Amino acid sequence: MSNPTFRTRISHIRKRKLSKKKLVRRGTPLSRRNNDEDCEAPLVGGPPLALFDLVGGGAAAAAAGAGPSSVPTASSSSTTSTHHHPPYHLRRKSPTHPVSPPASLGAVSVTDTPSTAASAGTAAVTAGLPSAASSNMPTLSPPIALTATASFCPSMLPARKRPRRTYSTGESSAVGLGCTYSTAAHYLLYELPDEVLLTIFSYLYERDLCHVAQVCKRFYTIANDNELWKNLYQSLYEYDLPLFNPAPCKFDFVQPEDCDYDNPWKESFKQLYHGVHVRPGHQKHVAKEVGRSVAYFDTIQAAFDYCDDAERPLILIHSGVYCGELIVIETNIAFIGAAPGNVAENVILERECESTVIFMEGAQRAYLGYVTIKFSPPSCTESMQHHKHYALEIQENSAPTIEHCIIRSFSHLGAAVSVSGSGAEPVIRYCEISDCENVGLIITDRAQGHYEDNEISRNALAGIWVKNYANPIMRRNHIHHGKDVGIFCFDGGQGYFEANDIHNNRIAGFEVKAQANPTVVRCEIHNGQTGGIYVHEHGMGQFIENKIHSNKYAGVWITSNSNPTIRRNEIYNGLQGGVYIFGDGRGLIEHNNIYGNALAGIQIRTNSDPIVRHNKIHDGQHGGIYVHEKGQGLIECNEVYANTLAGVWITTGSTPTLRRNRIHSGKQVGVYFYDNGHGLLEDNDIFNHLYSGVQIRTGSNPSIKRNKIWGGQNGGVLVYNGGLGVLEQNEIFDNAMAGVWIKTDSNPTLRRNKIFDGREAGICIFNGGKGVLEDNDIFRNAQAGVLISTQSHPTQSHPILRRNRIYDGLAAGIEITNNATATLENNHIFNNRFGGLCLASGVSPIQRGNKIFDNHDAVEKAVTSGQCLYKISSYTSFPMHDFYRCRTCNTTERNAICVNCIKTCHSSHVVEFIRHDRFFCDCGAGTLNNQCQLQGEPTQDTDTLYDSAAPIESQSLMAEV
């Protein structure tokens, strides 16, 4: 038989368990409340008894750990709502029935009034204390008071457990307590204006504010107010904008309106909250920051030591100047400035010896941002070792991220930033490296890294050095106003440079030497005080799709056995030349657009031998391509046009090769060889120049093959002043004057050319001109196919013509006049209008094996028919016949009268025979006083001068770059 006492205890325990199960089952609908109960507080985690006793005055019971009998039970009636529109639209009308106190305090009879609720609730909330009904209650912090007061709500219990409208008790003190509690909770949840809650919440720190947000939806909404968190955020971090950490080693400020978060300030707070703060003198305020869990330090080193074991160490350095601290980083830690306004300007790290900040091996994902880094050595330390003089030093096997920093060094040695050693691969972006007394950034000893969007300016030496096989990637940097070169690659330096803006540097924008081989793509290099790009002393490099313009000297300089590639660039508006290759320079210059430069678009001199192809070289204020002083080069497939002087100049012992170029529309000569200029001109199209297409003079001896030379306003080819040259298989046509001029002791060789459709003679040989003309086809020219004359030159013109076909001319086939002579061998002369071979008085050429046939002899026919010879020639051609003057009419030496006009118009005049020569009749032209009786048409006398305008000397000869 069992012990009755034992059975009673078991029964009691079972009842307690059953009661708990029922309570849980009946409490289940709390998770499915209707919309009217959305703002009611959820059940608070943890022991509800303690919260309640603190509010209701049962402090002793809470301290003693009260039993289950203290759990509140009550019942409630239905609630109604009225229209009320606070800022958050979440407030609800209070329930229509009064709320009872917990049963553990005894039943009381309660009739609530608005004054009671308001006074009790206001006292409890604003003071952070319970009602005055209990004088010995403990003082609560605002968040605990709010949470405790709001935690108990009758609607939180199952319907069967909600309190009734009235209670009765004999303890008056319990009546006061119950009314105070229910009224405060009711007022706090339903009636207290949002603005008041905002004001109350503004006194809370972030952790307490998050606790309050867990009370109910209304508190959650108000506690997430943007201005509330903005004030909290700025009091801790000092930033004007929220700063986000979206990825490792990346911190970005974002305008709140551009942010995807509902509360960007709170989100930023959350992302940065694990950081520790360096804020000198702020530790004394920590005790007052209840509800905040933040570590403050007076020095960067102290914060650094504290973060040794942190998983994601972050140090926020607040406003101030931090002098003398040696910052050596070997771990993946993040340092970031924290200040209002321009953050970097207000957080300054400065040292006077060694380096200010050093990243060493192990700092693979370290971060430094939004600070100023200065190195300011006193003058007595200027003799210290070069490699220690840096504001920022990044050593081998480290890859930190440096961004949004201002970096300056006032040392005359070293640089502001040094990146050296294999495995040194930093990311440096959005930094300002300026006003340094030496180099801005040095990358050396096989270092690499990414350098993007930096401002590098006003440095005493180069903005950037890349040397010793370093291979960085540099994009979108602004490198300008340096007192030396912008970027200097040397001693095997490499790198990829893209979309950088490089301008106004005192020397070149980009300099390459000593086996350096960078790749420079889509940069703008302009307004250099010397030049744009300078490649020398065996330098190399690829310069692709850059804009190179407005530089004081040449846009690109290549010299001293250097061999870069210059491809698809725009090189324009230089104050001197476009590309200048000299001193044994090489290089591949292709697909560039070179225009508007003050001197030559491309200049090649002093044994330089580049490849120049597929370029457009145009609208220069000087010539297109200028090759001189033994310059060489392969120049092919270029379009050279609309230049002020010659399209191509070749002079002083130069021997370039020009193939398949289009050289046209120049304001002077197409291709100009002078002063012993040589070279090969092959398969080019040369047309529409204001002067002749090709000029050869003063000892020049080029080889000109398979070219089309046409549309010249002063002839096709002009060889004069001792010029030489071999012209083979060219098509020379449609030129305004002679197709080929040979004059003043020149002696070229012409073989297998087609010279046709000229608007004057095909070939003119004047003033001591010589030459060998072999196997040419000369046809359809407006005047003589070949005209040979000496005029007043002391040397007799004496060319050699062999095996030429001269036909279909609109005048004579060959005319020889003015005491000139020629050797004519095995030529075929036929179908010419004025005859095959016309010889002036006193001319006796050497003739062998010529065939002269089927010519029209229009002059003899006109004489026979009694016509004035002007009728068949006008003033554009000069038929050869007897030449008279009329003394009666006082004709001058410049006038001539044909034989029929002498017989008819001047029949009774005193006349004299001058000679048999080429002329047109001035009587028929109407230039004499007597009217021509053979019905000549009066027209203006215009003598054609067989000469070409002298080429203008290049300004390059006087002002070479």
645-657 confidence digits (pLDDT tens): 999 999 999 999 9
Closest CA to 438 of 399, 391, 474: 391
- The residue behind tokens 């770059």 is 961
Predicted confidence band of residue 181 (pLDDT cuts 50, 70, 90): low
Predicted local distance difference test score (pLDDT) of residue 658: 98
Kindly state the average pLDDT of the residues 287-316. Answer: 87
Q: How far apart are CA 730 and CA 741, in angstroms?
A: 15
**DSSP notation for 382-427:** TTS-GGG--SEEE-TT---EEES-EEEE--SSSEEEEEESTT---E
Predicted local distance difference test score (pLDDT) of residue 313: 93
What is the three-class DSSP state of 675?
coil
Predicted confidence band of residue 922 (pLDDT cuts 50, 70, 90): confident
- pLDDT tens per residue across span 471-489: 999 999 999 999 999 999 9
Q: How far apart are CA 822 and CA 800, in angstroms?
A: 6
pLDDT at 933 over 50: yes
Predicted local distance difference test score (pLDDT) of residue 374: 95
pLDDT at 66 over 90: no
Give Cα 342 to chain centroid, integer Å.
26
Average pLDDT, the chain: 81
Total-model pTM: 0.76
Predicted local distance difference test score (pLDDT) of residue 908: 86
Tokens of 655: 């021997």
Predicted local distance difference test score (pLDDT) of residue 387: 52
pLDDT at 795 over 90: no
Predicted confidence band of residue 924 (pLDDT cuts 50, 70, 90): confident
Which of residues 355 and 309 earns the better pLDDT score? 355
Q: How far apart are CA 628 and CA 674, in angstroms?
A: 10
What is the three-class DSSP state of 150?
helix
Which of residues 142 and 863 earns the better pLDDT score? 863
Instruction: Among 173-177, 294-298, 521-525, 623-627, name the one with the lowest average pLDDT.
Output: 173-177
pLDDT at 504 over 60: yes
pLDDT at 716 over 90: yes
Which long-range contacts (C-beta less than 8 Å, at least 24 apart) are formed by 944-949? 944/760, 946/738, 946/741, 946/743, 946/764, 946/766, 946/787, 946/789, 947/743, 947/766, 948/691, 948/692, 948/695, 948/714, 948/715, 948/718, 948/720, 948/737, 948/741, 949/691, 949/714
Instruction: Among 124-133, 175-184, 507-516, 727-736, name the one with the lowest average pLDDT.
Output: 124-133
Hey, which of 287-301, 677-691, 932-946 has the most confident mean pLDDT? 677-691
Closest CA to 365 of 306, 425, 411: 425
pLDDT at 522 over 90: yes
Closest CA to 776 of 765, 768, 789, 791: 765
* DSSP bridge partners of 466: 443, 489
Predicted local distance difference test score (pLDDT) of residue 284: 76
Q: How far apart are CA 654 and CA 676, in angstroms?
A: 8
pLDDT at 439 over 70: yes
Predicted local distance difference test score (pLDDT) of residue 215: 87
pLDDT at 268 over 90: yes
Hey, which of 97-111, 217-231, 394-408 has the most confident mean pLDDT? 394-408
H or E stretch covering 817: strand 812-817
Share of the chain above pLDDT 90, in %: 61
Kindly state the average pLDDT of the residues 416-423. Answer: 96
Predicted confidence band of residue 180 (pLDDT cuts 50, 70, 90): low
Predicted local distance difference test score (pLDDT) of residue 88: 43
pLDDT at 35 over 80: no
pLDDT at 110 over 70: no
Predicted local distance difference test score (pLDDT) of residue 876: 63
Predicted local distance difference test score (pLDDT) of residue 157: 47
Predicted confidence band of residue 126 (pLDDT cuts 50, 70, 90): very low
Which of residues 533 and 96 earns the better pLDDT score? 533
566 and 592 in contact (C-beta within 8 Å)?
Answer: yes
Instruction: Among 336-340, 431-435, 845-849, 899-903, name the one with the lowest average pLDDT.
Output: 899-903
Which of residues 729 and 874 earns the better pLDDT score? 729
Kindly state the average pLDDT of the residues 898-925. Answer: 88
pLDDT at 212 over 60: yes
- Length of the chain equals 961
Predicted local distance difference test score (pLDDT) of residue 874: 57
Instruction: Among 154-163, 671-680, 708-717, 738-747, name the one with the lowest average pLDDT.
Output: 154-163
Kindly state the average pLDDT of the residues 637-643. Answer: 97
pLDDT at 641 over 90: yes
Which of residues 961 and 771 earns the better pLDDT score? 771
Quick one: angle between helices 142-151 and 172-186, nearest 10?
100
Predicted confidence band of residue 605 (pLDDT cuts 50, 70, 90): very high
Predicted local distance difference test score (pLDDT) of residue 875: 56
pLDDT at 21 over 70: no
Kindly state the average pLDDT of the residues 90-95. Answer: 40
Kindly state the average pLDDT of the residues 794-798. Answer: 89
Predicted confidence band of residue 601 (pLDDT cuts 50, 70, 90): very high
